[in-house]
């Protein structure tokens, strides 16, 4: 559309994905959602990047 949009990028584990989809559906039934498998996630709450 050429219009600016806000994007929420979130990383969850497989066990959390089902709950996340329910939350998204309850907030916005027309939400556009992409699910990717990732190998590693570094940062707070995940793997320490210095390792």
CA dist 26 and 23 (Å) reads 5
**Per-residue pLDDT at 51:** 64
The torsion of the CA quartet 48, 7, 24, 28, rounded to 10 degrees, works out to 170
CA dist 23 and 17 (Å) reads 10
Predicted confidence (pLDDT) at residue 49 exceeds the cutoff of 80? yes
Residue with the bigger pLDDT between 47 and 15: it is: 15
pLDDT tens by residue, 1-32: 899 988 999 999 889 999 999 999 999 999 99
Return the SS3 of 42.
strand
């Amino acid at each position: 559309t050429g219009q600016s949009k806000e994007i929420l990028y979130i990383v969850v584990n497989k066990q959390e994905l089902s709950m996340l989809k329910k939350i998204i559906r309850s907030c916005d039934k027309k939400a556009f959602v992409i699910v990717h498998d990732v190998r590693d996630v570094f940062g707070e709450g995940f793997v320490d990047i210095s390792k």
